[in-house]
Structures are given as C-alpha cells and as structure tokens.
Structure 1
Amino acid sequence: MDRLQAMQVFTRIVEMNSFSRAADTLGIPHASATTLIKNLEAHLGVRLLHRTTRKMSLTPEGTDYYERCVRVLAEIEEGESAISFGGKGPRGRLRVDMPRLLGKMIVLPQLCRFHQRYPDIDMTIGFRDSSVDIGHEGIDCALRIGVLQDARLVVKNLALLDVVTAASPGYLERFGVPRSLDDLSEHMAVHQFSARTGETSDFRFIDRKSEVQVKMRGSFAANDAEANVMAGIEGVGVVQLPRFLLEPHLRAGSLTEVLEEYRPHPLQISVVYPQGRYVKSKVRVFSDWLGILFNKCPLVSASGSLEAITPRSSVDGEPGSNLSRPVSGTVCP
C-alpha cells in the first residue's frame, strides 16, 4: 500500500464527505478509493470512518488521524516546493471564494499586484452570492461579510465595512430629509430580502449608543444589491447598504447620505479557512495581502487585529449574500 496516496485519499474523502467525489477530484477509480481506505484501516488496526448508505462520519481515531495527515501532507508539499524551486516562495493552485461585488469591486482590481509579488500562485476564484461549505468544496479560504459562528472555521478578521443610509435628491425633495429615526415612519424603504429565508431585513441604526432596528414601509424588495442601488437612485425609497456600493453614486450626487449621526455598526470582513488544517503558505500570504488591501481601502476601516480567532457561535454570513452583481467603477486606488 502506498501510504502517502492513502493519506491523500483519506483527507480528500473527509473534506468532500464523499468517496466518489474525492476519487473524481484525484483522478482515480471509485473502487480504488474504497480499497485504499480499507487497506489503510487494516494497516492502522482502527476504523477511521463510520459508513452507511446515507451517512459518513469520522471516528475519534479518524479525527485525530485526519489532523495529523493534513499537517504531514502540507509539510511535504511545501518542502518539495522549496527544494524543487529554490525557495522562490509559495506556489500552486489557490482556490478562493468571495462575495461577488466585494470581490469584483475591491479585490479583483488590485489582484495584479498580488500576482506580481507571488507569480507562482495560480488562483481560482468563485464569486458567489451565498456561503458554501468550503471544506467539502475543496476551497482553501474564503472572504466573508458579517458575524460568523461556524466552529469548523478559523476566522481572521481583516477590516470593518461601513454601512450607509441614503436616498436620491428627488426623493428627499418630495418626502423631506429625515432628521431623526422617528421621521422614518413617513418614509419608504428599499428592502433587501434573503434568498435563503425570503425574509426582508430591517434597517439598523445606532441610537444613544445602542443598535436598534427600525421597521419601515416599502413597496420594493430585492435580493440583489445592484437592483437596490438603482431603486434608490430612481427615488423608490431610502436604501441602506455597504458604503463601497453607494460611494460612486454619493460622489456623483445621484444619492445623498441621510441620518449620518445614526450610522449603524460596520460589518466585519474576514478571511476564513477550515479548522484543523495546516495553514499553507499560499493561504497565509494571500490572507496577509487581503489585510493590507482592506487596510488601505478608503471605504473600509482597519479592525485593529489581524489575529486568527475561532468563533464560538454561528451565522452563515447572510449580510454578504446580497452582494450579487458588479457595479462599474474601481473604488480602491
């Protein structure tokens, strides 16, 4: 038995939660994956996986062995790269997942600088509207917006994303400029709704140092941030979105910020990767580069800490799920 191959197959099965999918990604027959795991378990004298026709899970011994395999395989990969390429730096394919508009408006315009610094890293980026299980999808790391509570992930906080409330000059001329939260009862909102739950989100504000949610009337709701921006520009109602989406229109005068003194808490931008994995150098340098990028971007503010933390509670990153299609214009120099 090739123990190194068996370790590679085993870790891929765990990460993809499937024998067949793991075999397909590794380019081996499905039967070979099954045989390798059986031989590996026989060699170790323990059962690594509980398997039924409907479910698969790790045994306690399998969990411990998986973590050790991940570290060993990562060390081998980086050791081979260092020797084969003269220590030129991280290399190989890096699979990343990120919200569409955040990626296309802030990250993508600057990505050439990352490639100039790390030319041997080949990047594959998925721009998605909703969170995915990055371990099962074989993704190395992902950008997320909002509070994250998945104990399977390590979270590295990068920056804070300002949220702005705005309306078109025409709308404000017709309905007046709201000066207080009580004034919003006389106004219409352009609501966002969750594609996952179908629920619309209330506007958030800070009033007397506490965050409050304000329910507003509205005749329009979308799960697409670009549609909400356009509805605001056309005078359908008041919008509340991350600043980077509204900034070009605020500068152009087609939108005007309101209730600035009640601006809500900013949203957290984080990079995440699976808990228990050895952090590969290509993931490490990319997450460090993202921290520098967001720190320099005028539409976000530094979070004050770039230390990796493990969250204790979980949400699926819903605030990022409405970032759907690109708006023209590069926002970071």
Structure 2
Amino acid sequence: MDRFDAMQAFARVVETGSFTKAADTLHLSKTTVTQLVQQLEAHLRVRLLNRTTRKVKVTPDGAAYYDRVLRLLADMDDAETSLSGALASPRGRLRVDVPSPFASMILVPALPDFHAKYPDIQLHLGVSDRVVDLIDENVDCVVRGGEISKQSLVARHAADLPLAVYAAPSYLARAGHPDHPGELDLPHHRIVGFAGSRTRRVFPCIMHRGDESIEVQGRPALVVDDGNAYLAAGLAGIGALWMPSYMAQAHVAQGELIPLFADWQIDPMPMYVAFPQNRHISAKLRVFIDWLVELMAQRTPVVSRPRPGMHHATFPAV
C-alpha cells in the first residue's frame, strides 16, 4: 500500500461523501479507491468510514484522523514547494471555475501572460454561471460576484464592478426611450432577466439618485442563467438589461448598446476569488490567485464601496 495515495483517497471520500465521486476526482477507479481505504483501515486497525448503500459517513476516529491527514498532506506539499525550483516554477493541474463573460472577455485573452510566467501549470477551466460545489467537484477556486455567504469558503476580494442599465437601439426604437428607471415597470417595456441557477429568481435592479432609491423588477421577455446569453439577448433588442459595465463597453463604443439613466447609480458589485476553507493553498493556487487579482485590478478596478444598508445582487459575468 502506498500510504500517501491511501491518505489522499480517504480524504477525498470524506470530502465528497462518496467513493464514486472521490474516484472521479482522483482519476482512479472506484475499486482502487475502495481498496486503498480498506488497506489504510487494516494498517491502522481502525474503522474510518461507515458505509451504507446510500451514503458514506466518517466515524469519530475517522474524523480525527481526517484532520491529521489534511495537515500531513499540506506539510508534504509545503516541503515540496519550499524547494527553490518549485517556488520559482510551480507546476501541476489547477481546476478553476469562472463565469462565461469574464472568461471570454477578460481571463482567456490574458492567459498567454499567465502561461509565459508559469508554463508548468495546466489550467482546467470550467466556464459557467452555475453554483459550483468546490469539494464535490474538486475545484481549486472559483471567481464569483456578490457576497460569498458560504461558511466553508474563504473569499479574497478582488474588485468592485461598476453596473449600469443598457438597451439596444432597436429596442428603444420599438418601446421608446425611458427617462426614469421606474418606466421599465410599465406594460410597454420589457427586460432581459438574469436568474440564479439555484433559486431561478430574477434579480431586480436597485438604483439610487441622491436620497432617492427605486427597485426595478421589470417584465421579462426572456430569462436566462448564462451571462453570454444575457448579453446576446440585450444586443438583439429583446429588452433592457443591467450588467457590469465592462461587458457593455465595446458595444457602447460601437453604438450597439445605449446606456440609460446617466444620473442614476447602481451600487457596485464585489467580485471574489473563493476556495475551500479546509483546502491547503498550494504554490500553484497561490500564484494563480495573485495573478488573477492583479488582472482584475487592471481590467475591473475597485470603485467606491456600496453605501451602508444598500442591497446588492449577483449579476452575470462575475
């Protein structure tokens, strides 16, 4: 038995709650993972996991051993990355999940710079606006907008995205140019709705001007859960939409989108890089997060923080 492989297999089973999921994330067969854990239990002479047909549950001894295994694996990674060569050139596979517009407009175009600096890091990029379970899917980090409320995640603040309301000229020609945000709630106006993949609730737009605030719900002609589709619907003139300004910048310059309500503001949306709280930050993850934060500071600079008591929601591309 390779004790290192066995400890890795055991840790992944605890984290995913499944031998099958652990095997998938480790790129091993379920039989191999099962055998490794069984061999580890035989070596320790302790039952680490209780198995039923429906789930796997860690025993009290297994929970205590899991905590020590995490420290051992982290120490081993530290020992390897403390070598001058490893620090100078971190290597290995890194799984990252980012929203689709952020990937296509900011991250992917900048990756040649990252690969020039770190040629031995292989990025596996998940591109979606869905909620990702970092533990079950063995994802190293995610980029998301809006406040991170999950206690199991550590979030590093990277930027505050300016937001605004836009519409295509074709939509304005058909529905008229609204002068006040509240007009978007009138029957002859339509919006493109962006809904969270988990709640399916369409996010409203809260705007303020001086001491005046208004929440716009709008009448969705179309509801999507993907940022690229959201932008495409706005460009097609399906309805008005509110989104991060970086998504609209090029289209505004080309006359394909028109900014609305110039004297009104939407509170900026915080953007975070998040990773599991109990996951050791490897050298490759550390350099990627540092590089990503620097990239976002250049492309989506931090702006003034929201006023106390103001609401902010999650929008696409974050």
Q: TM-score range by the shorter chain?
A: 0.7 to 0.9
Q: Deviations over 1:222-244 (max 9, x none)?
A: 34444443443444432211212
Give the alignment's TM-score, normalised by structure 2. Answer: 0.83
Match status 1:76 vs 2:76:
yes
Task: Tell me which stretches of 4 or more aligned residues in structure 1 moved more than 6 Å.
Answer: none
- Let me know the Cα RMSD of the aligned residues: 3.1
TM superposition shift of 1:144 = 1.4
The answer for the alignment partner of 1:163 in structure 2 is: 163
Structure with bigger RCO (C-alpha 8 Å, 6+ apart): 1
Match status 1:239 vs 2:234:
no
The answer for the alignment partner of 1:109 in structure 2 is: 109
The answer for the alignment partner of 2:193 in structure 1 is: 192
The answer for the alignment partner of 2:122 in structure 1 is: 122
Matches within 5 A, 1:245-284: 245-284=247-286
Matches within 5 A, 1:76-155: 76-80=76-80, 83=83, 85=85, 87-155=87-155
TM superposition shift of 1:166 = 1.5
TM superposition shift of 1:83 = 4.7
Tell me if the contact between 1:91 and 1:122 (Cα under 8 Å) persists in the aligned partners: yes
Tell me if the contact between 1:211 and 1:264 (Cα under 8 Å) persists in the aligned partners: no
Distance across 1 between alignment mates of 2:212 and 2:120: 48
Give the alignment's TM-score, normalised by structure 1. Answer: 0.80
Tell me if the contact between 2:168 and 2:257 (Cα under 8 Å) persists in the aligned partners: yes
Tell me if the contact between 1:188 and 1:219 (Cα under 8 Å) persists in the aligned partners: no
Q: CA, structure 1 residues 243+64, in 2 after alignment: closer, same or farther (shift >3 Å)?
A: farther
Range with bigger deviation, 112-121 or 207-216: 207-216
TM superposition shift of 1:220 = 3.7
Distance across 1 between alignment mates of 2:71 and 2:291: 23
Match status 1:301 vs 2:302:
yes
State the number of aligned residues. Answer: 310
Tell me if the contact between 2:18 and 2:55 (Cα under 8 Å) persists in the aligned partners: no
Matches within 5 A, 1:57-76: 57-76=57-76
TM superposition shift of 1:254 = 2.2
Distance across 1 between alignment mates of 2:138 and 2:200: 29
Tell me if the contact between 2:100 and 2:227 (Cα under 8 Å) persists in the aligned partners: no
The answer for the alignment partner of 2:6 in structure 1 is: 6
TM superposition shift of 1:200 = 2.8
Q: CA, structure 1 residues 111+209, in 2 after alignment: closer, same or farther (shift >3 Å)?
A: farther
Tell me if the contact between 1:188 and 1:218 (Cα under 8 Å) persists in the aligned partners: no
The answer for the alignment partner of 2:309 in structure 1 is: none
3-state SS in 2 of match to 1:184: helix
The answer for the alignment partner of 1:221 in structure 2 is: 223
Identity fraction in percent: 37
